[in-house]
Amino acid sequence: MQAALVLEDGRVFPGEGFGAQGCATGEIVFNTSMTGYQEILTDPSYYGQIVAMTVPHVGNTGINLEDPESRKVWVSGFVVRSLSPLVSNWRNRGDLATYLCERGIIGITGVATRALVRHIRERGVMRAVVAHGSLADDNIALADIARNSQDMSGANLVDAVTAEAAYNWTQGSDAQWYGLHEDNSCGPLIVAYDFGIKRNILRMLADRGLRIAVVPARTSPADILKMQPAGVFLSNGPGDPAAVDYAIANVRALLGELPIFGICLGHQILALALGGKTEKMRFGHRGGNQPVKNLDSGAVEIAAHNHGFAVSAGSELGGGEITHLNLNDNTVAGLRHRGLRAFSVQYHPEASPGPHDSFYLFDEFVDEVAANV
């Protein structure tokens, strides 16, 4: 059935709809990962965004039970060049179109995704709308809807994705994918702030012998300290970090009390808590092929990225230092405050999807935690 992606600047990308019918708004972004659409769909960091995949064929491996990164699909819309007409993979349990349909998510295929990416590259990310069904031919109305939707800058989206109540996490990785499987039944306890946490982060921590308590984003520092954890983890998540003012304040209160490790939004919040600044990028980094240089070792990691905001280069970090740089554009990819035992990275060491070059960061956190026990 007819479908269209309409951008706030009036540009229209027609296509064929799949998944749910209707209309949804969000910030249009593109992801250059060639695999891992199921992980991307279920990554809470994409909340409020319409994701376009650059890889042409999507849906080839279907949907399986192991790969979701959270309890639901978070993207507002999903844009592909060619939806697979057939699913083929030994782990497959269902097809993408049905999966999205059941979850009320609009998909659109047959889109000139390369032209779309070039448009975003030149003009920057912007608000957009996907429409599938009767609405899809009224491009003027759709552009209006896009223009009236929420802007990502200044948006606190964390409240929408964080867990409603605290819970414990114990499950590690499946043995067929990774090698590490320490018993975590009586390891040190850490608290993970859920700003939109991905399951693979939790698995990575569990694999390394940590007990994990996941807490809602608004949990106070006092409540955390009451749990007597050996470390705090700040998760990834959606939206503008500067808008999550309570989290910045909470982290500031915890600095120095416990070792802290942050990923993505957690990294940005740590930087803000240290007194740094963040800024919106033109079109962000989303993909599994980005080179990150570890300034300590000089080594380059190929890393999974998913962010539209970044810590401003040269911003004051209250004694913290830059530890990692993205070599494509020299954006800040990691920082550390030695005195306060806090460090963070902008990218996704847990991968999923993406290369596994940066697992060592979890080991570093475990070392910090162990030193604190």
Partner 1 sequence: MPKRTDIRSIMIIGSGPIVIGQACEFDYSGVQACKALKSQGYRVVLVNSNPATIMTDPQLADATYIEPLTAQLCEMIIAQERPDALLPTVGGQTALNLAVQLQQSGVLDRHGVELIGANLTSIQLAEDRQLFNDTMREIGLRVPESRVVNSVDGALAFADEIGYPILIRPSYTMGGAGGGVAYDAEELRSVAANGIHQSPVGEVLVDRSLLGWKEYELELMRDAKGNFVVVCSIENLDPMGVHTGDSITIAPAQTLTDKEIQRLRNMSRQIFDRLGINTGGANVQFAIDPVEGDAVVIEMNPRVSRSSALASKATGFPIAKIAALLAVGFTLDEIPNDITQQTPASFEPSLDYIVVKIPRWDFRKFAGADPVLGPQMKAVGEVMAIGRTFPEALQKAVRALDIGMDGFVSEPGEQTTPEALSVPTAQRLFQVAAALADGIGFDDIVAETQFDPWFVQQMRELMRVYGTIAGEGRRLSDICADEMHHLKQVGFSDATLARLMRTDEAAVRQRRKTLGVSANFYRVDTCAAEFQAHTPYLYSTYEMEDEAAPTDARKVMILGGGPNRIGQGIEFDYCCVHACFALKELGYETIMVNCNPETVSTDYDTADRLYFEPLTAEDVMNIVDREQPAGLLVQFGGQTPLNIAGELERLGAPIWGTSVDTIDLAEDRQRCHALMRQLNIAQPAGSSITTRAEATAAAAKIGYPVLVRPSYVLGGQGMAIVFDEAQLLAWLDEHVQWHGHHVLIDQFLDDAYEVDVDALCDGEQVTIGGIMQHIEQAGVHSGDSACVLPPYKISYFHLDIIREHTRRIGLALGVRGLFNIQFAVKDDQVYVLEVNPRASRTVPFVSKATGHPLARYAAQIACGQTLSALGFTEEPPVSGFFVKEAVFPFQKFPGVDTRLGPEMRSTGEVMGHAATFSHAFVKSQSAAGLPLPTAGTVFISVNDFDKAAVARLARDLARLGFALVATDGTASWLGRIGLQVSRINKLSQGSPHVLDAMRAGEIELIINTPLGGTAHEDGATIRSQAYALGIPIVTTMSAAAATAQGIKQLREKPLSVRSLQAHYAAVN
Provide the annotated active-site residues.
264, 348, 350
Smaller CB separation from partner 1, 79 or 224 = 79
Q: Which of 114, 124, 314, 371 binds partner 1 (CB under 8 A)?
A: 114
Smaller CB separation from partner 1, 276 or 334 = 334
Task: Tell me: does residue 57 bind partner 1 (CB under 8 A).
Answer: yes
Q: Which of 140, 300, 313, 371 binds partner 1 (CB under 8 A)?
A: 300
Smaller CB separation from partner 1, 66 or 159 = 66
Quote the CA–CA distance of 170 and 168 in Å, as a whole number. Answer: 7
Q: Residue 371 CB, nearest distance to partner 1 (Å)?
A: 27
Task: Tell me: does residue 181 bind partner 1 (CB under 8 A).
Answer: no
Q: Which of 2, 21, 34, 155 binds partner 1 (CB under 8 A)?
A: 34
Task: Tell me: does residue 198 bind partner 1 (CB under 8 A).
Answer: no
Task: Tell me: does residue 352 bind partner 1 (CB under 8 A).
Answer: yes
Site string for partner 1, 86-105 (x = CB under 8 A): xxxxxx--------------
Residues 199-228 that bind partner 1 (CB under 8 A): none
Task: Tell me: does residue 346 bind partner 1 (CB under 8 A).
Answer: no
Q: Residue 82 CB, nearest distance to partner 1 (Å)?
A: 5
* Site residues, partner 1 (CB under 8 A): 13, 30, 32-36, 38-39, 54-57, 60-61, 64, 66-67, 81-82, 84-91, 112-115, 117-118, 121, 176-177, 287-291, 293, 298-300, 302, 327-329, 351-357
